[in-house]
Structure 1
């Protein structure tokens, strides 16, 4: 890996480093929230039952405590043994001991947990009471979001150790179930809790590439989630995504405008004017389609200027088509050249969408024939995309400390050791 992890090799400076500096100087910070808690700060008090009580499901029919779990619209009630629950979690121990003196002698002892997911907490209660077959059956029949909800509660009540025997099997089920409808912010938190470094960094990379600025400017959105409100792992994780996303977008825009500028100035490397041999055509990707298959005869080679004119015109025409939906003159504002933005701050779309737009633009340029592969922007952009992947990989490893700190890596290692 070179010291310049991303961006065109031509031109002054490193666009990524510059973009990161600009983003950090701009102080573009998102809303933070704690994704991990050693205890529940809010004191849990005895419930006041209003209206009709839900049907009580017996986790322990001889239990002495009823938990009302979930909001009013999804309220469920479970009878449990308070002593059994108290022994599983310091958090539960604290509030059960605090309110034991208020335990009624002639009526049900009821507690409200309105913020918790009923199905997930029921699974935990089955495990707590030794009803492992019920817990595993529920997880086998659940969708991919159940493990996320389960780990949210394990994090909240400091009892992740309870699911250790089944964690890896449930993770594999979750990954398989979310392939068609991925929610990488959920996978990121799951991986963070289970100490899966590779899955965590892969999920973060997908979040960064698919994240876009929210319409109200309050932060980033990915997979229909306001990242500032999502559990992602370390504290204020979404703030670490912003400079990386910014840098990727700026480097992509710099590449685009460098292609346009260099065509105008004739700085693009000269093509080979003779029929290439196999060794001279290695730059051409067998998987990249340039659209039109018509080629210019190598016996009548174009000049470097002609190549630049064709490509420059193709880039501008394709950009107009993409951004305005038509190349007809009457649908264009007279005297205005339509190009992609020059600054990342002007673009709310995701890096993935911008990459797709640039592929569309560059592949729309007319093929130039054998020996002209080095002239064509599609092949050049294909190579440039590899530096995008290299850069995000470096960020995942903690490049410039943007994604993971040494403490984060240590925490992941400890969790992986816990869950095996």
Structure 2
């Protein structure tokens, strides 16, 4: 008799749990046992949601806006999203070409599930956000990972893209600023990728811009559909309020793209979750249409933290970290630690072993780079208060100095 596990959907059976959430679970278990842990694993701002946004959510409850909304979202919010794309990205967007989802992850899942068939391929530059290849596989398609190491600034090159495209390629996923590296594509780099894509009209592009506003050193942000308008009918541009407005728990993501794709995603969502939380949608409307000063303030804080954390990581023997251009992650090479032994006798034979040892012996939680498709690295989220970051970096330095071999 087949076990219950054997009766699982074959695509789900082959999927791996999120490495990030696995670390979060380990942190929770250690804290429950009384251990002190500083977690640098979660990808969410440590700031509170701005007060005017919270008040909009409270006002929505008090006004009775607690019922179902249209599947694609409140018209007022979709109009605000269209205005955002025009104002900040130079994209002429009709509100009907937008979709509101329960988080950015649902945007991605909707898009891929609505378009992929068995045998299709999706190009995923590595390092990548851990969920990209898993979502592709859950949709029955094949992720094609393309290594993008430090020599290219962790960015996809036109030559690597050209080599990865086959007749089965259906999507390219492009994330800028990047989780986990903080790499940012400039206009010329996007244009060079666009020239390759123009040669392959069967390839759609998912432009994940969720970290758009967390970009440092005065750099300008560009998105692919903005840089190359000839690709507009093949690009899904996704964003959300989670990172820019510290609204991770509100669960609102959104996108714009060609009408046929938005309609297909709406159809899928209508049989899946229906519309996003009405209260969260009203809060997101306040975020997009209200004061925007929080964005610049939080960006300045993250840039200061970046500078401090990267400097301290580079003072740790065996670690090396390039200066990220955006997001709130440091992606540090731990190659210099491999082969060494910890005080407890654990041998560091992989970046995952380094991560486990840092948590067990230094009380600092990070995520191993191989979970993002490129090792040996560790990803450190500096979305934490300055004092905790300083304490965590000191513990990492002490750990590195204590290694033998």
Per the normalisation by structure 1, the TM-score is 0.22
The structure that is helix-richer by fraction is 1
Larger radius of gyration: 1
The structure that is strand-richer by fraction is 2
Per the normalisation by structure 2, the TM-score is 0.23
